[in-house]
Amino acid sequence: MISEKISLGINGNIKIPGDKSISHRSIIIPSISKGICEISNLLKSEDVLHTLNAFKSLGVKIEEQNDKTIVYGRGLNSLKKSSKELFLGNSGTSARLLTGLLSSYPFISVLKGDKSLSSRPMNRIIDPLIKMNGEFKSTNGSLPLKIIGKELNNFNHEILIPSAQVKSGIILACLNTEGKSTIIENHVTRNHTEIMLQSFDANIDIKKNISSSKIIINGKNELKSKNIEVPSDLSSSAFFIVAALINTDSKIRLKNINLNPTRDGILKALKIMGANIAFTNKKIINNEYVADILVESSNLKGCELDESMAKLMIDEYPILSIAASFANSPSVFKGLQELKVKESNRLELIKINLNKCGIFCEINNNDLFIDPTKKNSIKDNNIKTDFDHRIAMSFAVMGSKLGNLKIEDSESINTSFPKFKEIYNSSGGNLIEK
């Protein structure tokens, strides 16, 4: 458990760890490529380490050398059967991407996870793979999952539920499948997999318009490994951005942050709310947009965000809710059904914990309504997290304004941000272990 005392301001130059989504893919894609890959700034969180250890079990040599992670790629279709079950902790990314990849390899694999991951839906990735001739055994469409790997059939598939994990899992399956496969997505989702595959010379073509994209994969073509510099994580940065916005006398610079346009919804939302945010030192690293972010204390106003925004920032709604709690007018966030099937039911936990903190909050179907003008006294300073790292970090930031909030099960933060407490306190936060 951690507790937060009132902050006197968040300040300084802050180095955020590597992007979690890109870190996962920085292990997976070099492992099935030809050649050696040196990875800089890989996030060493529990989730990413589960992916890393899974590929070691699948026969990939991975070493730590100074500050770099070295992956000795085996090439396409060269992974070896693991002698043990692959334990993935709480990492949904690991589970869904590995399900897609391993479905095309000629051996049996078993994926397991912790209690939380074992309750999350896997049918959304299993069902399209079955249409490709994939074979699986599970209970109620969740982990543990037995993958009976075999030669898959190429196919055309339209993704109906926006999910970068599902899309990426299918792409990885298609890489090792003879012929041409086409994936159509009618909603914008994170495109890190496609970007990295293109940089690794995959035979993949992407055709985009405003609202959709068509991804054409020509399978059985060898990938060529490249070195990777992982940019810093925007989702992790969001906790510091909001902390600086809501606390007086705050001014921070966040360095080398990933600004991929499929993930920058949190910045757009905060700008709508009147946040003082600017960008400098813009550049492109490994085909990803990167910049420093400058943030200063701001007087925020409430806003209404429609469902389209959820596709660009679903993971950031917990911390956005904290920002909305200190705005000068109500906010409505629509179409948040995906929050119900994350590491926890985040939608419900946001409501429960904001009301504990004296902030009026209610859910109408899948819409979240927050009215900071109806503040009451703190009802209960014990914050319920259900072992969800983003809920824990979001309410740690809330504590910088309210003080004396006790964040239960705060060890879950190690899932994505092991040095959160250290970096947060060095910038002016006051998190204390209880």
Q: Which residues contact 413 (CB under 8 A, 6 or more apart)?
A: 389, 392, 393, 420, 421
d(CA 243, CA 296): 10
Q: Is the pLDDT of residue 282 over 70?
A: yes
**pTM (two decimals):** 0.90
Q: Is the pLDDT of residue 71 over 80?
A: yes
The arithmetic mean of pLDDT across residues 305-315, rounded, is 89
What pLDDT score was predicted for residue 162? 78
Confidence category of residue 66, pLDDT binned at 50, 70, 90: confident
Pairing of strands 180-185, 156-159: parallel
Confidence category of residue 3, pLDDT binned at 50, 70, 90: confident
Query: What are the domain boundaries of the chain?
Result: 2-18+231-433, 20-229
The arithmetic mean of pLDDT across residues 267-272, rounded, is 97
What pLDDT score was predicted for residue 198? 94
User: Where is average pLDDT lowest: 109-113, 133-137, 157-161, 290-294?
Assistant: 157-161
Q: Is the pLDDT of residue 75 over 70?
A: yes
Using alpha carbons only, give the angle 34, 51, 227 rounded to the nearest 5 degrees. Answer: 40
What pLDDT score was predicted for residue 203? 95
The arithmetic mean of pLDDT across residues 145-165, rounded, is 92
CB distance 261 to 234 below 8 Å? no
Q: Is the pLDDT of residue 5 over 70?
A: no
More confident residue, 119 or 3: 119
CB distance 173 to 153 below 8 Å? no
Instruction: Name which CATH class applies to 2-18+231-433.
Output: alpha beta
CATH topology of 2-18+231-433 equal to that of 20-229? yes
The arithmetic mean of pLDDT across residues 133-150, rounded, is 95
User: Where is average pLDDT lowest: 36-40, 149-153, 359-363, 378-382?
Assistant: 378-382
Show the 3-state SS of the chain: CEEECCCCCCEEEECCCECHHHHHHHHHHHHCCEEEEEEECCCCCHHHHHHHHHHHHCCCEEEEECCEEEEEEECCCCCCCCCCCEECCCCHHHHHHHHHHHCCCCCEEEEECCCCHHHCCCHHHHHHHHHCCCCEEEECCEEEEEEECCCCCCCEEEECCCCHHHHHHHHHHHHCCCCEEEEEECCCCCCHHHHHHHHCCCCEEEEECCCCEEEEEECCCCCECCCEECCECHHHHHHHHHHHHHCCCCEEEEEEEECCCCCCHHHHHHHHCCCEEEEEEEEEECCEEEEEEEEECCCCCCCEECHHHHHHHHHHHHHHHHHHCCCCCCEEECCCHHHHHCCCCHHHHHHHHHHHCCCEEEEECCEEEEEHHHCCCCCCCEECCCCCHHHHHHHHHHHHHHCCEEECCHHHHHHCCCCHHHHHHHCCCCEEEC
Percent of the chain at pLDDT > 90 equals: 81
The arithmetic mean of pLDDT across residues 386-405, rounded, is 92
What pLDDT score was predicted for residue 288? 93
- Give the mean pLDDT of the chain: 94
What pLDDT score was predicted for residue 132? 96
The arithmetic mean of pLDDT across residues 96-106, rounded, is 97
What CATH number does the domain located at 20-229 have? 3.65.10.10
The arithmetic mean of pLDDT across residues 81-85, rounded, is 98
Query: Active-site residue numbers?
Result: 315
Q: Is the pLDDT of residue 120 over 90?
A: no
Percent of the chain at pLDDT > 70 equals: 99
- Long-range interactions of 405-411: CB distance < 8 A, separation 24+: 405/3, 405/4, 405/357, 405/381, 406/1, 406/2, 406/3, 406/381, 406/382, 406/434, 407/1, 407/2, 407/3, 407/4, 407/383, 408/1, 408/382, 408/383, 408/384, 409/1, 409/385, 410/1, 410/2, 410/385
pLDDT digits (tens, 9 = 90+) for 159-174: 887 788 999 999 999 9
The arithmetic mean of pLDDT across residues 213-218, rounded, is 94
Confidence category of residue 201, pLDDT binned at 50, 70, 90: very high
